[in-house]
Amino acid sequence: MTDWTEAARKLADEVTAAAPEWHDSVSSTPRHQLVPRWWEPIPDSYPFAWGLRTPQPDQPWAEAYADETLVTRVGALHADNADLSDRPTGLPTSSSTLPGLIVRMLHLLDPHEQDQVLDVGTGSGYSAALLAHRLGDKQVTSIDVDRYLVAAARERLAGFGRTPRLEVADATGSLPDAGYDRMIATVSVRPVPPAWLDALRPGGKIVTTITGTSLLISAEKHPDGVVRGRVQPDPATFMRTRREADYPARLDHVYDAARDRPGTETRQLTGPVPDLWGDWELRCLYELDSPDIENRSATRDDGSQLLWLLAADGSWARADSESRTVRQSGPRRLWDDLERVQAIWTAAGRFPLHTMTVELGADRSALLSPDCTWTLEL
């Protein structure tokens, strides 16, 4: 393909089949201008590292118009400001989300003509561009905590005629203005900030994800001021909100203690070692019950499994399918918490998470099981 518009049209054909109202916006938005360079993982690097990526001369549109997430910032280093020799090893701190997910969220958002929309997490500016194309620039406000991201997005959007309002703001603090009809967030939050609920008009909708989970929720503000909705069927994961240039470091010091030490308690493993990445629903429920527990896993050559659970207070658990043991240490018993969550979910018939409802208000922010017997506070 020699013309970006053909590539954008093919992307639109691919990602808007279930949301045709967004086809024109996707096919008209030059994503390559918003993401001229990005980061990609370096295969087999140790420690895990990222390398700078630019469009290939023989296929200049192939990657920018693929339905893929393009990581634009690792740690504090944005791809715009990097050299080809740079090899950052941190976590992604900004990206241009895969267009198919953005379109799915916009379809859930269902903005109408004249709606005022708040786009939380400007990033590359892609979602703001789609909204502004369909609704008009004056209907869209986009915020990001990162001053550079806002400035770069503003300049690049203006380069193809899009001028939504872009502001530097902490999404967990006060918002620019109020009276929004729709809010969409491409950063995850927990809880949903009270300022969002206050700034949303009655009848308005929020589409966002819950930090540490793959739960995408869509909810509407009711006349009593409570925002009610439900979890969506397909999982979606976004980076959490941040106030600093980077996220806190991973719990390597706790992992070093947990890797092969005996711990202060040993017990028999009573079932298989859970696959917390494969079983995303169990992982989400565990995160909702016991927030911010880092998990790591490994498979030995003989196929036996190891799982570590790590907490910032130094608590850890290690499950080993070969020795059929669980070892724990620290002030909390992380494995006991995981088993308790498994038991409650099993007793409830392992309901699909998209059958959960959400209630967000001044007195309670929570997810509820289908029979309302299990409440998970946000």
Alpha carbon distance 38, 121 (integer Å): 17
Residue listed under structure tokens 């001229």: 36
Question: What is the CA 126 to chain-centroid distance, rounded?
Answer: 16
| Domains of the chain and CATH, by start | 252-347 (3.30.160)
**What confidence tens digit (pLDDT) does each residue in 58-71 have?**
888 999 999 999 99
The string over 271-296, giving b where at least 16 C-beta atoms fall within 10 Å of a residue's C-beta and e elsewhere, is eebbebeeebbbbbbbbbbbeebbbb
User: Can you say how many angstroms the Cα of residue 359 is from the centroid of all Cα atoms in its chain?
Assistant: 20
pLDDT, average across residues 147-172? 97
DSSP 241: P
Tokens of 50: 């990222």
pLDDT value of residue 311: 98
The answer on pLDDT for 1 being more than 80 is no
Mean pLDDT of the chain: 95
Coil vs helix vs strand at 197: helix
Catalytic one of 27, 94, 95, 96: 96
Residue 360's region, left for phi above 0, alpha for psi from -120 to 50, else beta, is beta
Q: Is the pLDDT of residue 325 over 90?
A: yes
Contact 180, 117 (CB under 8 A): yes
Tell me whether strands 325-329 and 265-268 are parallel, antiparallel or unpaired: antiparallel
Query: CA dihedral defined by 351, 352, 358, 364, rounded to 10 degrees?
Result: 40
Q: Does residue 234 have a pLDDT over 60? A: yes
Q: What are the Cα distances from residue 344, in Å, to 49, 164, 185, 348? A: 39, 46, 31, 6
Residue 296: is its pLDDT beyond 80? Answer: yes
Q: What are 365's strand-pairing partners?
A: 360
Q: Is the pLDDT assigned to residue 2 strictly greater than 80?
A: no
Nearby residues of 336 by Cβ (< 8 Å), 6 or more positions away: 328
Does 274 sit behind a cis peptide bond, omega within 30 degrees of 0 on the bond before it? no
In this prediction, residues 332-346 reach a mean pLDDT of 97
- In the structure, what pLDDT confidence band is assigned to residue 25 with cuts at 50, 70 and 90? very high
Q: Whole-model pTM? A: 0.94
pLDDT(345) > 70: yes
Are 232 and 354 in contact, with CB atoms under 8 Å apart?
A: yes
Percent of the chain with pLDDT over 90: 92
pLDDT of residue 359: 97
User: Is 214 among the residues known to form the active site?
Assistant: no
pLDDT for res 247: 86
> CA-to-CA distance for 199 and 183, rounded, in angstroms?
9
What span, in angstroms and rounded, lies between the C-alpha atoms of 346 and 81? 49
